[in-house]
């Protein structure tokens, strides 16, 4: 078997070398149209990267030359970092996203939270586990029985009294955002629906949650109907009679909610501390945003965006207003053009490193980077950011100050990344 593998490897290298000297037009004429997409979806990422170097030498050389002063782990600009991956035994996969170029890629999505020294892990399909940093280092995690088999999970939120999840029922033809709650416990969790937000969607996006000022109040992101049609024309984010395209404030004691902010597309990251609320929002093709959220303010979607529609095709006409303030919307603190597939945001305190004091980390899906951010004093503008290449889609982040580690939900390998100095 080993001899056979070596032969196949050398034959592949010879074939790739031959392709490198053949005219590109000839290669295109003999290779099936969908062959490139097929091998990209089914081949290990590192091997595909090697093949790309040979098949498109000019493009690969340009990328290398464009990589000035880029650092790769364990190096970053000012710190040496160690990334350890702990593989989770998830036997489930789902599509990577709603965009056409992502639907063929399978991933293992999960969310991470902590209470005291316990770390909780919830998969997209409702598998629930707990551990601590010592056991996680030994790849020991323990299952929590639950009743979530009919739900697709969008986020997990924990306190020392309760577990909350945002989800939708995969059996419902008309899907709507649902909030479920269970008492805190590590043996079994019996989740009950506490809130449904009316609507009828093909699929539900967003659903990010964070406690706001006290553990009875939860901020929840709801997405625009971005699957409604190709041009994403959806009036819900600007409609104050709709719960979608918003950040909602849920009072879990009174079981009431109100609109906190509106004009949002698809928020995958929320941070709240005292009066400060930050949101990371997926734009269309380009225009991912970091927003400072204020009560009752309008953030502009789908009227204003620094991105364009997925079907824009380099037309010299903008689909969106390129200024928010002129139309009475809140400007983003920062907008990523091109998009990075922005996801979670966390604050890093002085305990991790004085060099990262009062910095924030933002995770990305498509870019496969961590972004270290430094805002100004009022968090009204971004001073700088540093890209830290992780080489995996990062769905969620959790910073454990006492342990001085950053946990990353890596959804291509289905691993928890443990980032340390």
Q: Looking at per-residue confidence, does 230 or 166 come out higher?
A: 166
Strands of 252-294 (E only): list them.
256-262, 267-273, 276-281, 288-292
pLDDT > 90: percent of the chain:
68
Strand partners, 178: 167, 196
Average of per-residue pLDDT across 31-51: 63
pLDDT score for 104: 46
Please report which helix (H) or strand (E) contains residue 21, including its range: helix 2-21
Residue 236 has pLDDT above 60, yes or no: yes
Residue 375 has pLDDT above 70, yes or no: yes
Judge: domain 82-420, CATH 2.120.10.30. Answer: yes
3-state DSSP assignment of residue 404: coil
CA angle 231, 154, 300 (to 5 degrees): 40
Q: Which token pair is 138?
A: 């030994």
CATH 2.120.10.30 boundaries in the chain:
82-420
Spatial distance between the Cα atoms of 391 and 24, rounded to a whole number of angstroms: 28
Spatial distance between the Cα atoms of 264 and 274, rounded to a whole number of angstroms: 22
Q: Tens of pLDDT along 310-350? A: 776 666 778 899 999 999 999 999 999 999 999 999 999 99
DSSP 8-state code for residue 96: S
pLDDT score for 407: 98
Q: Looking at per-residue confidence, does 363 or 311 come out higher?
A: 363
**Range in 59-73, 236-250, 367-381 with the lowest mean pLDDT:** 59-73
pLDDT score for 72: 84
DSSP 30-83: HS-TTHHHHHHHHS-HHHHHHHHHHHTHHHHHHHHHT-TT--BTTB-SS-B-EE
Please report which helix (H) or strand (E) contains residue 214, including its range: strand 214-222
Give the pLDDT band of residue 29 (cuts 50, 70, 90).
Answer: low
Based on its alpha-carbon atoms, the radius of gyration of the chain, rounded to whole angstroms, reads 22
pLDDT score for 101: 46
Give the predicted TM-score (pTM) of the model: 0.86
Give the pLDDT band of residue 3 (cuts 50, 70, 90).
Answer: low
Spatial distance between the Cα atoms of 184 and 216, rounded to a whole number of angstroms: 14
pLDDT score for 311: 73
Q: Tens of pLDDT along 75-100? A: 999 999 999 999 998 766 665 555 54
């Amino acid at each position: 078997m080993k001899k056979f593998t070596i032969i196949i490897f050398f034959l592949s290298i010879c074939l790739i070398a031959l392709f490198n000297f053949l005219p590109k037009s000839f290669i295109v004429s003999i290779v099936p149209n969908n062959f490139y997409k097929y091998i990209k979806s089914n081949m290990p990422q590192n091997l595909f990267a090697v093949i790309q170097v040979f098949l498109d030498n000019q493009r690969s050389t340009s990328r290398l030359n464009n990589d000035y002063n880029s650092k790769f782990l364990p190096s970053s600009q000012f710190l040496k970092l160690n990334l350890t991956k702990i593989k989770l035994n998830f036997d489930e996969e789902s599509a990577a996203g709603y965009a056409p170029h992502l639907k063929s890629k399978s991933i293992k999505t999960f969310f991470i939270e902590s209470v005291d020294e316990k770390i909780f892990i919830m998969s997209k399909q409702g598998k629930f586990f707990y551990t601590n940093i010592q056991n996680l280092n030994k790849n020991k995690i323990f299952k929590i029985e639950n009743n979530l088999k009919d739900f697709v999970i969008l986020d997990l939120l924990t306190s020392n009294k309760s577990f909350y999840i945002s989800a939708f029922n995969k059996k419902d033809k008309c899907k709507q955002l649902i909030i479920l709650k269970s008492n805190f416990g590590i043996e079994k969790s019996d989740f009950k629906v506490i809130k449904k937000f009316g609507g009828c969607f093909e699929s539900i996006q967003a659903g990010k949650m964070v406690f706001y000022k006290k553990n009875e109040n939860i901020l929840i992101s709801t997405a625009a109907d971005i699957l409604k049609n190709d041009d994403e024309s959806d009036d819900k984010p600007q409609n104050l009679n709709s719960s979608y395209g918003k950040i909602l404030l849920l009072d879990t004691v009174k079981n009431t909610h109100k609109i906190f902010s509106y004009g949002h597309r698809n928020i995958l990251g929320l941070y709240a501390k005292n009066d400060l609320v930050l949101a990371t929002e997926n734009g269309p093709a380009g225009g991912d945003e970091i927003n400072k959220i204020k009560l009752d303010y309008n953030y502009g979607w789908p009227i204003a965006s620094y991105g364009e529609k997925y079907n824009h095709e380099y037309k010299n006409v903008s689909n969106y207003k390129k200024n928010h303030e002129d139309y009475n919307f809140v400007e983003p603190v920062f907008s990523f053009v091109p998009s990075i597939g922005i996801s979670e945001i966390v604050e890093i305190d002085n305990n991790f490193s004085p060099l990262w004091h009062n910095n924030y980390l933002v995770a990305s899906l498509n870019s496969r980077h961590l972004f270290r951010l430094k805002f100004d004093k009022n968090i009204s503008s971004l001073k700088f950011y540093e890209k830290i290449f992780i080489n995996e889609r990062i769905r969620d982040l959790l910073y454990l100050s006492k342990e001085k580690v950053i946990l990353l939900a890596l959804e291509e390998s289905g691993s928890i990344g443990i980032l340390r100095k």
